[in-house]
Amino acid sequence: MDDIKDMDIIKNIRTVEWLKSELLSSLAYLYEILIMDEDDNKKEISEVISNIILLSLLMGKRVGLSYEDVFNNLQNRIKLNIQKEHNIEKWYGDLSELLKFMELLVE
């Protein structure tokens, strides 16, 4: 019985390490895309950012967080940054827009 539990722990550790590697690779690729001077790379940027979000959620799950916990923490972080008048919010209103979008997803 302990062997099965040990195998699960080892598998989980390897999965977390693999996810970290994938996350770093995706982030590096995002930097590459952003320095390219191409007008038609929005689809590729969207795909990479979506992958980074996906990998982050999966890693959170592997370290013991529920998707709901991550989502709630994200909403709280957005609200806190709105309250603190983060520059992105002051300049563009992006955080308020994101919060409204997330609230629509919950409905």
81 near 95, Cβ under 8 Å?
A: yes
Element (H, E) at 87: helix 87-92
Per-residue confidence (pLDDT) for residue 45, from 0 to 100: 94
Per-residue confidence (pLDDT) for residue 39, from 0 to 100: 75
Q: pLDDT digit of tens for each residue in the chain (107 aa)?
A: 567 766 788 999 999 999 999 999 999 999 999 998 777 899 999 999 999 999 999 999 999 999 999 999 999 999 999 999 999 999 999 999 999 999 998 87
Per-residue confidence (pLDDT) for residue 1, from 0 to 100: 55
**Nearest by Cα to 92 from 107, 82, 83, 79:** 82
